[in-house]
Structure 1
Amino acid sequence: MSLLNDLINLKLSDTTEKIIAEYIWIGGSGMDMRSKARTLMGPVSDPTKLPKWNYDGSSTDQAPGNDSEVILYPQAIFRDPFRGGNNILVMCDAYTPGGDPIPTNKRYNAAKIFSHPEVAGEEPWYGIEQEYTLLQKHANWPLGWPLGGFPGPQGPYYCSVGADKSFGRDIVDAHYKACLYAGIDISGINAEVMPGQWEFQVGPTLGISSGDQVWVARYLLERIAEIAGVVVSFDPKPVKGDWNGAGAHTNYSTKSMRQEGGIQVINKAIDKLAKRHKEHIAAYGQGNERRLTGRHETADINTFSWGVANRGASVRVGRDTEKEGKGYFEDRRPASNMDPYLVTSMIADTTILWKP
């Protein structure tokens, strides 16, 4: 194993200019992440300088077997914390050979919305709170829970310390540092209310970059958990019963909201979100009805509500925003398995472009 580790940790720059680029994309389920690596002749920092690539879409439920080639377009570059050096991770989206985005490519339409002059002029910022649950590999049961049984009731686990309350911190801390190394705008981590459940936050991040960064942060988490022999679940309600679900609360502001008098812009935006509640819920993740029950710090899925400092509302406005009369608000409806490209662009579309 020592020799294996030595080989894994070889510094390519000692002997060659060549680097390894890990191309990452989203599979057919809309949540599974795929990747494969290729050798490049030297360091690259601009995604437009990277070659397009392809993969077998029939093996990812994204193309038929008789016409299975799907084309990867490089969109964003991150440093590779696993291989180090000049090696890179490349976030891609997927197209047919004719250049049309495939159905699971949510980035394409998101990029169109974020490049719209009205949206670009408002400089939309996002901060996404990604919750997830660590599961025991062979039991499909949360990390730290007795097999076939349950831990004590919720209460002592949120932001906890101690071997009887905090489970998986080594994975979480490794992920935190890997994100910082990669160049992701990760702003924090914390243990969540349900034991074995954690959260990381990405942001504030501008426009389409928010989706790129959340997806790559998810990829890093999956890779680190793979090394640890632990499974990552983004299910919005991984355990039935009196346990908190997992969300992806999305904090949002525009330039107008951040300026003096921004609270009026925020109020108008929330009013628009209320009018399109059903459309947003339909796009905010699979199985979200199991989470948005009106209990466990959620609003009921069928009713839009908002309030200041109210964690049981669909949309929460912070005390600081209310006090200063400007700032941001939090959409608490998105599930942990939402597509950040879809959610961020839809919020921008509704609050900036949509004219009721």
Structure 2
Amino acid sequence: MPARRAAVALVALSVTGCTGGNDEPPPPQQFTDVEATVDLDAVAPGGVDVLGLGPTDDGALVLLGDTADPRVGYLATLTDDGLGEVRRLEDVGTQLLVAPDGTALVVGPDRITSVPASGAPTVTEVVLKELAAAALSPDGSRLYAATADRLVSLDAATGDTRAETDLDEGLTVVALAVPDDGGPTALMSDARAPDLADVAVLGTWDEDLEEFDLVELAPDRPASIPSALRLADDGTAVVSLTAGSSDDPFRVVTVRDGEVQASHAVPGTDRPLADLAVSADGRVAHLPVAGFEVESGVVTLDLASGEQLADVRLCEGQAAFGRVALSGDRLTVIGSCITAEAASSTAFVVG
């Protein structure tokens, strides 16, 4: 079992892109206005359950399950104009991935349903029992899937297994992501140490799932619970977690080159973060925050300093937020405003 590494050093994250000859990079992207709200429950008479969300060139795709008939699903397009095309899927899977060409891959325990932007869906049979998470390589060729006890690399086009490895008993995968260069990165809960509390860890593999490294994400706390994972373009991992029950339990942690680089308390929330979005250059994270005594919305957090740069309110009162997708200058947040009326599944398009 590899040793856990936990060196913590606050550093500025690198910025990619042209600065026009000026040493100062352009201001990081911030979100301040709600451009549209979409009632997702209107897609089906009995309402829907949100299964997945993925960014596209001009918005997002959302995977919905029919609450009245869980075998039926819907793949819906979301833009700043609202709800676009809705396509019905039979025997819907649980994981939504979007390929570089815009093709949606809906991954389930026994099939991969490929849904092109136009044309009929195709189904490839696979065996992924107890599927926990899935991720697609940036070029769309490799699909990684985590089950209860193993990690598998599949050919995304054929479903053929390219490599696989067993997970140690006590490691549970919460989320997967794949950088431009290398194999998968997994956010996990580690319960392997006897008589000790579970801790949040980040695991990385090479493409062949042979070399493995592990980093503990909150080494200053006796226990921690992982929530969400995103990668910046340079491979920096940004994760959210809950660390103990102190005054600042909700954190965003950055990891690069196998070391924890920074750990920041999340402002304005008293609930764990279900998801987050990260700018391509890794400078900021966009975090949906909610709770009993806080404003419900999205905050933009500087990942080098931990400073809150901007915020936008999505609900006047309490709320519950789930998945987030960043596409260009639009952020899509799935959630529900909790009011006197029955809560509904809503997509907030923020600009």
- Is the TM-score greater than 0.5? no
- TM-score normalized with structure 1 length: 0.24
Larger Cα-atom Rg? 1
More strand by share: 2
More helix by share: 1
